[in-house]
Amino acid sequence: MINKTINILLIEDNLDDILLLQETLAQASSSSPKFKFHTVHRLDQGLEKLRTEEVDLIVLDLSLPDCRGMDTLVTLQTKSRQIPIIVLTSMNDEEHALEAVRKGAQDYLVK
């Protein structure tokens, strides 16, 4: 696992959040593991990436131009059951977080 590159599908429409996450993980992975990002801004683009790219982890914003809320997670979950999904959102709500985990998210992180 030390030399493996982890392919992350980042489904996020906010450029500042994309850059922040990429910079944070780049600093954290100065030795290993390495991260490769496949970034898209819409859920439909993310679903297409799942068909064409090898993905080890999905980081998902729940508020996208083409889907919002738990529907975003549920739709993605049905197409990627074997890939861990981390929800990254601005909603700091414990009930919302518990619902996301119940619906299949591995974790719920507040931006």
Q: Where are the beta strands (DSSP E) in the chain?
A: 5-11, 34-40, 57-60, 63-64, 67-68, 85-89, 107-110
Give the span between the Cα atoms of 81 and 68, in whole angstroms: 20
**Tens of each residue's pLDDT in the chain, 111 residues:** 457 889 999 999 999 999 988 888 877 766 667 888 999 999 999 999 999 999 999 999 999 999 988 999 999 988 887 899 999 988 899 999 999 999 999 999 998
Q: How high is the pLDDT of residue 12?
A: 96
